[in-house]
Amino acid sequence: MRSSPTNEVLNIAFVVDGSGSYRVLLPPVSLHFCLIKMHILFSTANVLTALVHVEFINLITYGASEMGSYFLVQPPYQSALEDIEKLYPQLSVSHHIVTDPVYTRCADLMPVGDDMLAKFYYTTRSRRRTANFTVFISNAADCDGHASAFLATGLRKLVLSVTPVPDLEDKVKWPTRLETGVGNNGVVEAVKVLTGLLGHFNWTTVAVVCEAKRPNTLGWCLEVHKGLSAALSGFNMPLVKVDGFASDTNFTAVMVELNRLTRVVIYYVFGGTIRKLMLAAHSINMTQGHHVHVLAVIYRHPIFGNYSWENGDHQDAMAKQAYSTLLLLEADRSDQLPAFGTDSYYLREGWRNVSLSIFNTSYSRDVENFHLAAAYAMLMMTAQVTTEILHSNQQDLLSDGAAVARKFYNRTFRLRTGNFKFNQLGAVSCLDYLLQQFGKSGQLLLLQKIQPEPFQMREVKSVEWPGDLWPVPNRPVCGYDGQDPACWASSAHFIGTAAACVTSLVPIFSLGIVFFLRFKREQSDKLLWWLISEDSLRMRTVVRILNF
């Protein structure tokens, strides 16, 4: 049985030096993991001199199992607090982390997240320092985004989240919401890119394959399919769901069905699933260059698996050949992996080092995780907009989250982590997309840079296609199963015509044989005139004697 809720506050300070390394200053207090929740407070030091106090309230999954979990995003949050203290001295900031070591995955936090956040907000109001501006932030998945979305909207407080909502354009429903991830706006732009790509190559019959048992990926896939179906009205676009993690899934049967439906397939699946599908395709000759397989990558992160053909097993050679017909389509997130020696590089290296040294959580420097940059950006962008409001003598706007949210629309924030560009709805706009292919060498090659809107393709390198014809025709002449009725009709017409011709030729052919045999006989008689039988000679002799 759980005890009654309590709060234990831990203040932690991180100091970054010029090389990007962190030193950690821990106060002499112990941290108690209470049964209901844990409240951790981070704040800037300029409490007495600041003119405006901003508080961020952040419900989050504990540990590091999710891309936006506490052990991963706390270092970026702390970097933002340090930069705010230096760049915006008129602001003091407190960051309230609400979490519980029991809840390490979204599926665990989802059922209790609404209650946890509401209890914290209302039961600690008297103990929290009075804030001029309250902001709810969410940097994990739907598990904590749901709670912050509805509580913040109901309170008319600004909310920044990486979690998408399907109807962000409804500003009556979402007046205070901003999205900093690859959420619904990412779906919209993915639909635009795929629509343009299909039109460019004149592919009108396309199948979409979704990962069946992973809710986030499935949801994204279903939204893309819905958007494509609406954008390409009249096109044939079947939907296939596949469970890439089940041991009894028949991947060959899936590919046989796809072969019956189309020659162009778009996949929203995990790395391990696409490998199983491509190996199955190879086994039934669907990787000879007559089919196009397009893998739409939502995001590159270890939780999505390995998207390369190379797995270090006995099937690598077969997979390499199969992947030659696989095109990878993904948003250009090159700013997630900044060049060595840049400020952004050292900043991210500092985050990585802190996650390892303080939280015993490691990840390689080539891992993309947009949650890290989003965590830093949420605080920095809010600080910039708050300062602008303060300088324009509009401090009363801070009580209206909707008015503050509109300050983010249609603008680009230039930060140490890169640019964050918001559209007219308050969602971060993606940059270009990349169309890539595993070339003959097995290396991933960049073929096209694609601008979503207005749609534009800029060729970087020609495709290395294993088949005779590129682009692959939309459909075979006699259909995908060779049973096209049109081909049946033409075949029947051909057979009928041939039969009629044969029938009409039979008499002519018969007469020809008769005349030919007669001709041969006559010719034989002429050629053998000198061959006279013995009886003929005897009779002629007898006749002559009688007449003598």
The CATH number given to whatever domain includes residue 202 is 3.40.50.2300
**415 and 443 share a domain?**
no
- pTM, entire model: 0.69
Q: How many distinct structural domains can be found in the chain?
A: 3
Using pLDDT thresholds of 50, 70 and 90, give the confidence band for residue 286. Answer: very high
The secondary structure of the chain in percent helix, strand, coil, rounded to multiples of 5, reads 40, 20, 40
Q: Tell me the C-alpha to C-alpha distance, in Å, between residue 45 and each of 11, 90, 414, 543.
A: 11, 12, 25, 153
Q: Are residues 261 and 306 in the same domain?
A: yes
Q: Which of 421, 451, 477 is the last residue of a domain?
A: 421
Buried b (16+ CB within 10 A) or exposed e, 200-239: ebebbbbbbbbbbbbebbbbbbbbbbbbbbeebeeeebbe
pLDDT greater than 60 at residue 173: yes
**How high does pLDDT run on average in the chain?**
82
Same domain for 178 and 310, yes or no, is: no
Is 319 within a domain?
A: yes
Which pLDDT band holds residue 36 (cuts at 50, 70, 90)? Answer: very low
- Are 448 and 399 found together in one domain? no
282 and 405 part of one domain: no
Structural domain for 208, as ranges: 186-298+300-333+431-459
Domain contains 537 = yes
Q: 512: exposed, middle or buried (C-beta count within 10 Å: 0-12, 13-18, 19+)?
A: exposed
Q: Is residue 477 part of a domain?
A: no
In a domain, 3, yes or no: no
491 assigned to some structural domain? yes
> What does the angle CA 142 – CA 143 – CA 146 come to, to the nearest 5 degrees?
65
Asked whether residue 364 falls in the same domain as residue 435, the answer is no
Task: Select the more confidently predicted residue: 244 or 168.
Answer: 244
Q: What is the pLDDT of residue 327?
A: 97
Predicted pLDDT of residue 44: 83
161 and 242 co-located in one domain: no
Q: From residue 421, how far is each of 79, 342, 443, 525 by CA, in Å? A: 21, 21, 32, 103
Inside any domain, residue 464: no
Residue 469 in domain: no
> Does one domain contain both 193 and 280?
yes
Model confidence at 30, pLDDT cuts 50, 70, 90, reads very low
| 519 and 416 belong to one structural domain | no
| pLDDT for the residue 499 | 56
Tens of pLDDT, residue by residue over 181-233, are 765 667 888 999 999 999 999 999 999 999 998 877 898 899 999 999 999 88
Q: Is residue 416 part of a domain?
A: yes
pLDDT of residue 298: 85
Q: Which residues of 527-536 are buried (b: 16+ CB within 10 A; e: fewer)?
A: eeeeeeeeee
What pLDDT is recorded for position 380? 97
Residue 111, classified by CB atoms within 10 Å of its CB into exposed (0-12), middle (13-18) or buried (19+), is exposed
Does 99 lie in the same domain as 159? yes
Residues 72 and 173 in one domain: yes
Lowest average pLDDT, out of 94-98, 182-186, 408-412, goes to 182-186
Percent above pLDDT 70 for the chain: 78
Region 260-271: what's the mean pLDDT? 95
